Structure 1
Amino acid sequence: MKLTVQLFAGVAEALGSRVWEGELPDGARVADLFAELIRQHPAAGPVLRISFASVNQQFSPPDTELSEADEIAILPPVSGGQDASKTEQRFEITERPISVDAVLAKVRNPLCGAINLFVGTVRELTQGKRTVHLEYEAYAPMAVKMMEQIDREIAERWPGTLVAMSHRIGKLEIEDAAVVIAVATPHRAASYEAGRYAIERLKEIVPIWKKEIWEDGTEWIGHQQGPWDPLRAGTEREG
């Protein structure tokens, strides 16, 4: 069967392409796809071995069977274009500067007693290296889908919570806002807990990548909180 596979961030860079097209036997599984990619591109083995497959915009384990009709992507560890004119759209990937006020407006409601706001910005120094700028990219449709999953997880743990997330992609300068998350809850304590859960979970499962451009080099920055495992259920995390 013929497969078309989307590649992102460090995987795309390692394979020298944004798309891989090839053939695998009928009944092939995700593990077979990875094996074939490593066979064809042995130098990409290190990044492929820590990456995950998405099949039809769902993280998929190695034994997932593939078909020609599947939408397949290979996603390296994440770093931690919906229509923003629609206020009801609470989750978005955008190339435009993020308006903090606009994100807040998406969660304000008469039943909330607290709003926790997280704004992630581009810092100049990282571990002693001076950052010139950052470049973000995302698997946008799946990124929004994963944000919606986080919203459902939060609603189960903290009933009555309303969440909005906006993440910017493209070139960002020092002090630019890369991500804005607003969490509205009936009571103060829940807003702290759900707000922290939202940003940590975003870094775990939302397919967004960050490239650090320094004065003396570049690097794709991936998940920095232990081995990346997006298949782990969010309910296993501590609140």
Structure 2
Amino acid sequence: MRVTVHLFASLRELAGARELGLELPEGATVATAWERLAAEHPRLRELRGTILPSVNLEFAEPGRPLREGDEVAFLPPVSGGAGMFEITEKELYADPLIERMRRDTHGAVCAFVGVVRETSPLGMKVTYLEYDAYKEMAERKMRQIGDEIRSRWKLEEVAIVHRVGRLAIGETSVVIVVASPHRRDAFEACHYAIERLKQIVPIWKKEVGEHGEVWLEGEGQGREELRWPRRRR
């Protein structure tokens, strides 16, 4: 089968092309495509741990099977090295983010993966969840969380990505990845990040199931002085 591979920035320069066609055997995966590419362009191998793959405009795990005509892209880290903070409607996969955050200087990479469960906190059966967000503000607040944990713990990489839209049972809603030379810093920072995300990031969740549907209120944005007072009945 034949797939098209897109390369950007440093990857494009190392391979000498922005777009390449690859002939792959049936059953080939994203990892197969990368290994074939690296065999033809050996200098790409040193960047393997930093890239994020996608297939047909969706982030993809290295083990994802490929089909005839697929569009594969290998994405190098974005400029700045300040972490990755994103609201997305695309499916989330933890492994590509973990690989992207890993460096030889890290002693620990800690990941939190939030998954849609089939029962509500009250034990009701859930059909699906729907997430909404104020995207621009949410991403800014995620960066704030990144700054906060960097000021408290010795970290080298931080990623917070949250999905919005309709999510089925078992799908991933949020991935947080923290990398540090030390495991304690990584664990504590990751725990802080998810708790802080619930407090200050403008993301809302609607639960739909056998009990009907309801927008769930969390801990709030942590600024009670900015809220309108509740009316007395």
TM-score by length of 2: 0.59
Work out the CA distance in 2 between the residues paired with 1:181 and 1:123. Answer: 18
Q: CA deviation at 1:101?
A: 1.8
Q: Counterpart of 1:124?
A: 118
Tell whether the 8 Å contact from 1:146 to 1:205 is kept in structure 2 after alignment. Answer: yes
Counterpart residue number, 1:230: 222
Alpha-carbon spacing, 1:229–1:167, altered in 2? closer, same or farther (3 Å): closer
CA RMSD of aligned residues (A): 1.9
Q: Which digits, 9 at most, give the CA deviation of each residue in 1:143-195, with x for residues without a partner?
A: 11001000000110012342101111000000000001001011111111001
Deviation at 1:229, TM superposition (A): 4.4
Q: Is the 8 A contact 1:103 1:166 kept in 2?
A: no
User: Which letter maps to 1:209?
Assistant: W
1:170 aligns with 2:165: yes
Match of 2:216 in 1: 221
1:178 and 1:146, CA in 2 relative to 1: closer, same or farther beyond 3 A? same
Which of structure 1's runs of 4+ aligned residues deviate more than 4 A? 83-86
Unaligned runs of 5+ in 1: 1-82, 233-239
Measured against aligned partners, the alpha-carbon deviations of 1:94-128 in whole angstroms (never above 9, x if no partner) come to: 11101212221332122210011100000001112
Give the C-alpha shift of residue 129 in structure 1: 0.5
What residue is the counterpart of 1:157 in the other structure? 152
CA distance in 2 between counterparts of 1:207 and 1:130 reads 26
Aligned residues: 147
Q: Does 1:93 align with 2:87?
A: yes
**How far apart, in 2, do the equivalents of 1:86 and 1:200 lie?**
29
Label 1:116 to 1:180 Cα distance change in 2 as closer, same or farther (>3 A): same
Aligned-residue identity in percent: 44
Q: Which residue of 2 aligns with 1:201?
A: 196
Larger radius of gyration: 2
Residue-by-residue CA offset, 1:16-36 (whole Å, 9 max, x unaligned): xxxxxxxxxxxxxxxxxxxxx
- Gaps of at least 5 residues in structure 2 are 1-57, 60-74, 225-233
Taking structure 1 as the reference length, the TM-score comes to 0.58
Residue equivalent to 1:183: 178
Partner Cα separation in structure 1 for residue 142 and residue 198 of structure 2 = 11
> Contact 1:130 / 1:215 at 8 angstroms: preserved in 2?
yes
After superposition, residues 59-78 of structure 1 pair within 5 angstroms as: none
Distance in 1 (CA, whole Å) between partners of 2:185 and 2:214 is: 36
Tell me whether 1:133 sits opposite 2:128 in the alignment: yes
CA offsets, 1:45-92, max 9 Å, x none?
xxxxxxxxxxxxxxxxxxxxxxxxxxxxxxxxxxxxxx9756436111
Structure 1 contact 117–182 (Cα < 8 Å) conserved: yes
